[in-house]
Amino acid sequence: MVQTIPAERITLYELVEKFNLKSREDPSFFPEWSENLPPINEEEKHQLHRVKRNFLNLAMRPMLEDMVKMMVLSPLLDLAGFYVWPFSTTAETSVEIETKDNGVIIRGKIDVLVWHNRLWILVIESKRSQFSLEVGIPQALAYILASPNLDKSVFGMVTNGSNFIFLKLVKQATLNYALSDEFSLRRGDDLVTVLAILKRLGATINYQSQAE
């Protein structure tokens, strides 16, 4: 009998067991979040300051996921260049993945999906401002598993508006994944670093596409 699990209820343990995911700790597996980050200019920093100020003002009250997308995600994706060619961005993309041997189907909707030439680049999962990122990590990984191009690197980002963590998953001999450090909108220039990482991911995909 086939078991259907909503993606928002999947656990990291279940993903590891059912899909044989392997966590990679060596920095060389996921250098995109920490190495060769592009500079952010003063105008971009000014816009990020406005994002931070607006978020902190609204965060004094409970903030739903849609507000997180509008207040934080949308400006970041715009500044990172993901709204213009050669990238495409959609919201609420329905996905379904099925294990071959365990009779399990995972269904859900990706909050934001960015792709390039039909290749998935970035899966974004947003949560309410009071939620821990830990609840979104397995959900984002589950959605990345639905990518049709797992032979290439697919990245993810989980955010609750004030905190951010990046993910990378690629199929080598096995399905390997890694996480970045966690960044906080409330801490120093972390939001600047988040934008730099997003730009780095876009540039990486562009470079790989041109090299093919």
pLDDT tens digits along 94-118: 888 877 666 788 899 999 999 888 7
What are the residues whose beta carbons fall under 8 Å from the beta carbon of 5, sequence distance 6 or more? 14, 104, 105, 106, 107
* pLDDT the model gives residue 172: 86
pLDDT tens, position by position, 43-52: 999 999 999 9
Q: Is 150 helix (H, G, I), strand (E, B) or coil?
A: coil
C-alpha to C-alpha distances, 73 to 51, 171, 175, 204, nearest whole angstrom? 10, 28, 28, 20
Of residues 56 and 49, more confidently modeled: 49
Lowest average pLDDT, out of 15-19, 27-31, 208-212, goes to 208-212
pLDDT at 119 over 90: no
Of residues 78 and 64, more confidently modeled: 78
pLDDT at 211 over 80: no
Phi, psi of 134 (to 5 degrees): -60, -30
C-alpha to C-alpha distances, 177 to 6, 93, 134, 140, nearest whole angstrom? 21, 22, 15, 11
Q: Is 60 helix (H, G, I), strand (E, B) or coil?
A: coil
pLDDT at 210 over 70: no
Q: Is 67 helix (H, G, I), strand (E, B) or coil?
A: helix
pLDDT tens, position by position, 147-170: 988 888 999 999 988 999 999 999
Range of the domain at 68: 3-211
What are the residues whose beta carbons fall under 8 Å from the beta carbon of 116, sequence distance 6 or more? 86, 87, 88, 205, 206, 209
CB 112, CB 89: distance < 8 Å:
yes
Task: Give dist(CA 14, CA 46) in Å, integer.
Answer: 42
The model's confidence at residue 191, banded by pLDDT at 50, 70 and 90, is very high
Task: At 105, list the tokens.
Answer: 């189907």
The model's confidence at residue 69, banded by pLDDT at 50, 70 and 90, is confident
C-alpha to C-alpha distances, 186 to 45, 95, 162, nearest whole angstrom? 14, 33, 7
Number of domains in the chain: 1
The model's confidence at residue 27, banded by pLDDT at 50, 70 and 90, is very high
What pTM, to 2 d.p., does this model score? 0.92
Query: What residues are paired with 184 via a beta bridge?
Result: 163
Query: Residue 25 is part of a domain; what is its CATH number?
Result: 3.90.1570.30
C-beta atoms surrounding 192 within 10 Å: 18
